[in-house]
Amino acid sequence: MTGEYDRAFRESVSEPERFWGDAAAKVQWYRTCDRVLNCENPPFFRWFEGGEVNSCYNALDYHVGNGLKDHTALIYDSPVTKTIKKYTYGELRDLVAYCAGGLRRTGIRKGDRVVIYMPMIPEAVIAMLACARIGAVHSVVFGGFAARELAARIEDARPRLVISASCGIEVNRIIAYMPLLESALGLCSHKPSACVIVQRPEMNAVFPDSNYISWDALMDAEPAECVPLAATDPLYLLYTSGTTGKPKGVLRDNGGHLVALMWSMKNIYDVRPGEVFWAASDIGWVVGHSYIVYGPLFYGCTSILYEGKSIGTPDPGAFWRVIDEHKVAVLFCAPTAFRAIRKEDPKGEYIRKYDLTKFRMLFLAGERCDPDTLLWAEQQLGVPVIDHWWQTETGWAIGADCAGLELLPVKPGSCTKPVPGYDIRVLDAQGNELPPGKTGNVVIRSPLPPGCFTTLWENDKDFINTYFSAYPGYYLTSDAGYIDTDGYLWIMGRTDDIINIAGHRLSTGAMEEVLSSHPDVAECAVAGVRDPVKGEVPLGFVVLKAGVTKDQEAIASELIALVRQKIGPIASFKAAAVVKRLPKTRSGKILRGTIKKIADGVPCQVPATIDDPLILDEITDTLHGLGYPRQ
């Protein structure tokens, strides 16, 4: 070990201004900042105040003028449409400039919000960068969300424009977007002034009125140049699940984000400009923002936009084909992808069919990677496999093995060590720091490093209440975990109602709201239970209103359909059961944790506070009926 990690970490927490000031020198500024860090109004820390910058310029124009004009910036690889299309930095810059010109012509100005509800197609990336080019704030909504979720985001962000597509493609089915979009707009009191639609060859959308324009019409414009923006101006708004049904609008600035992602490409992922970096995520999630779009392009890499799943049929070697064909150096995906691959190809036979000699490292995030999957991946691929910990709020890794600084020994199940910039502590309920090995609330001492969210969209109050009020001076991650005697970080699970389903963040509280809206349901509980591929899946229990005599299986099917319709297929809500009562404490609190433990087969003592221990027998029987083994 070289000690490089320790040196960088120490400097980042003891002299953050010097550390991040040095990192900022790698960025192209119109004007350098007056002040690296402004701590005058905690927890509203401001990075690089006075600096002027443009994220799109750093992602494209700078490289076009500096030798990478003909280098591939983006590879669109879409097994679902059997398409591979490559864009050089020069081509992508030109397309983005036309799109930015089109946005201007439709009246989009700096600070206006643009909602992007799109599948994984190049136009989505072009639209994001075009917003960044003229200072509009994009808000990408994941294509697997249903109309109601889209509506909630449109209502909160109040966009001037929505950009969408005629359809998405999910392996073997085409999903028409127009009905979803129209139904969402019908639910909103806010009306965007126009909707732009990319017509995909697989399905043509019929525009209901003149407020809809085609992507081609948008692109038929004078190209627009990058505009200088304040480093503290917002780049994007991204909604994420909170503990209520109302999603939280995470707001990210331009300057801090740019500096942090540039730093991470070299120091965490250890890639070199020109190499191929593949984040197998979706642009609707934070990983897609940071490492499909911005990070790799800021750093002059080739990024892959992959429209497909981790396993193809009949070929479970879908990922290896991409790595081989495009010479991927670093892959970033969720552990669920590897559990799915391993299930189909336990001996790794398909891995050996491909040439992976350029492949150097695998990074996993989105949920804790079980040591078994990590070791399997390491053994099969013969490259370092690094689990690293993230949140939408931070926008980049909090805990990782920073391979570009020095590769520390991997401890499977841990996220290695705090990334420079993140001063992590583990506290008990009273705010006392816990000794090594003791599990508690994982918090980060303020200020958060550059790149982390600066507030919640038009909601400073919830920003403070949700994240900075439990322990003054610390950001509450809502993750539980511990630091071991070697300083390794172990993130074991959420302390709130968020669950991670196939690496996607969803709230069980939001699902309970949907179940409660069913006319026959008196009360309900949703717990995240263990799943061999997706990590966790939701499981719903409902108690019916008195006098309801309807068939219970029919009600369960209605509930499953309701969650799919209101939240979306991505919730993977596929199991619901009717029970006579829910297990509760004597004070009326539903024991969701106990339901989860029974379903997971984890030995659990009957909580002393339970009002009626016999009810657990009914829950156990019901779970058994749903296919969960009896313990």
Give the footprint of ligand AMP on this chain (CB under 6 A). Answer: 240, 286, 365-368, 387-392, 415, 479, 491, 494, 500, 505
**Among ligand COA, ligand AMP, none, residue 248 binds (CB under 5-8 Å by kind):** none
Contacts of 463 (CB under 8 A, 6+ apart): 43, 453, 455, 456
Q: Distance between CA 248 and CA 460 in Å, rounded?
A: 11
389 touches which of ligand COA, ligand AMP, none (CB within 5 to 8 A by kind)?
A: ligand AMP
**3-class SS letters over 541-598:** EEEECCCCCCCHHHHHHHHHHHHHHHCCHHHCCCCEEECCCCCEECCCCECHHHHHHH
- Residue 146: both structure tokens together: 């249903």
Q: Which residue number, 336 or 380, has a Cβ lying nearer to ligand COA?
A: 336
Give me the 162-191 binding string for ligand COA, x by CB under 6 A, dash otherwise. Answer: ------x-x----x----------------
**Strands (E) located in 171-245:** 173-176, 194-198, 212-214, 229-230, 234-240
140 binds ligand COA (CB under 6 A): no
Contact 443, 471 (CB under 8 A): yes
By CB atoms closer than 10 A (0-12, 13-18, 19+), residue 105 is middle
223 binds, options ligand COA, ligand AMP, none, Cβ within 5 to 8 A by partner type: none
Q: By CB under 6 A, which span of 109-117, 441-449, 565-573, 619-627 interacts with ligand COA? A: 565-573
Stretch that binds ligand COA, among 43-51, 226-234, 307-315, 548-556 (CB under 6 A): 307-315
Q: CA-CA distance, 236 to 249, in Å (whole number)?
A: 10
Closest CB 418 distance from ligand COA, rounded Å: 21
Structure tokens belonging to residue 595: 């339901």
Considering CB under 6 A, how many residues would be counted as binding ligand COA?
Answer: 24
29, 147, 181, 619 from 510: Cα distances, Å: 42, 15, 21, 22
The distance of closest approach from Cβ of residue 616 to ligand AMP in the complex, given in angstroms and rounded to an integer, is: 27
Half-sphere exposure of 225 (CA within 13 A, CB side): 2
In the complex, what is the shortest distance from the CB of residue 506 to ligand AMP, in angstroms, rounded to a whole number? 9
Question: Which lies closer to ligand COA via its Cβ, residue 308 or residue 404?
Answer: 308
Choice between 227 and 383, CB closer to ligand AMP: 383
Q: Residue 320 binds which entry of ligand COA, ligand AMP, none, with Cβ cut-offs from 5 to 8 Å by kind?
A: none
Which residue, 76 or 471, is less far from ligand COA as judged by CB?
76
- Out of ligand AMP, ligand COA, none, what residue 138 binds, judged by CB under 5 to 8 A for its kind, is none
In terms of Cα–Cα distance, which of 530, 500, 533, 503 is closest to 342?
533
Question: Given the complex with ligand AMP, which of 120 and 444 has the nearer CB atom?
Answer: 444
Interaction between residue 447 and ligand COA (CB under 6 A): no
What's the rounded Cα separation, in Å, for the pair 389 and 395? 11
Window 320-339: contact mask with ligand COA (x via CB under 6 A): -------------xx-xx--
Select the residue interacting with ligand COA from 162, 287, 542, 582 (CB under 6 A): 287
Residue type, 619: I
| CA distances in angstroms from 153 to 159, 189, 239, listed in the order given | 9, 12, 7
Q: 360: which residues sit within 8 A by CB, 6+ positions away? A: 270, 329, 330, 383
User: Token digits for 300?
Assistant: 């002059």
Counting contacts by CB under 6 A, is residue 374 touching ligand COA? no
What does the alpha-carbon distance between residue 374 and residue 13 come to, in Å, rounded to a whole number? 30
The item of ligand AMP, ligand COA, none sharing an interface with residue 309, based on CB under 5 to 8 Å by kind, is ligand COA
Q: Is 560 in the site for ligand COA (CB under 6 A)?
A: no
Specify whether the CB–CB gap between 591 and 585 falls below 8 A.
yes
Cβ 36 to ligand AMP, closest distance in Å? 27
State the nearest-atom distance from the C-beta of 334 to ligand AMP, in Å. 8
Check residue 538 for interaction with ligand COA (CB under 6 A).
Answer: no
> Quick one: which segment of 45-53, 234-242, 309-317, 548-556 binds ligand COA (CB under 6 A)?
309-317
Instruction: For residue 575, state whether it binds ligand COA (rule: CB under 6 A).
Output: no
State yes or no: residue 597 binds ligand COA (CB under 6 A): no
Least distance in angstroms from the C-beta of 527 to ligand COA:
18
Looking at 80-88, 184-192, 237-245, 567-575, which segment touches ligand COA (CB under 6 A)? 567-575
| 327 Rama class: left (phi>0) / alpha (psi -120 to 50) / beta | left
Q: Does position 420 bind ligand COA by CB under 6 A?
A: no
- Residue 330 burial class via C-beta count within 10 angstroms: exposed 0-12, middle 13-18, buried 19 and up: buried
Which one of residues 135, 366, 418, 528 is an interface residue with ligand COA (CB under 6 A)?
366
Q: Measured between alpha carbons, how far is 111 from 108 in angstroms, rounded to an integer?
A: 9
Enumerate the β-bridge partners of residue 47: 37
Q: Which residues bind ligand COA (CB under 6 A)?
A: 143-144, 168, 170, 175, 280-281, 285, 287, 309-311, 333-334, 336-337, 340, 366, 502-503, 533, 569-570, 572
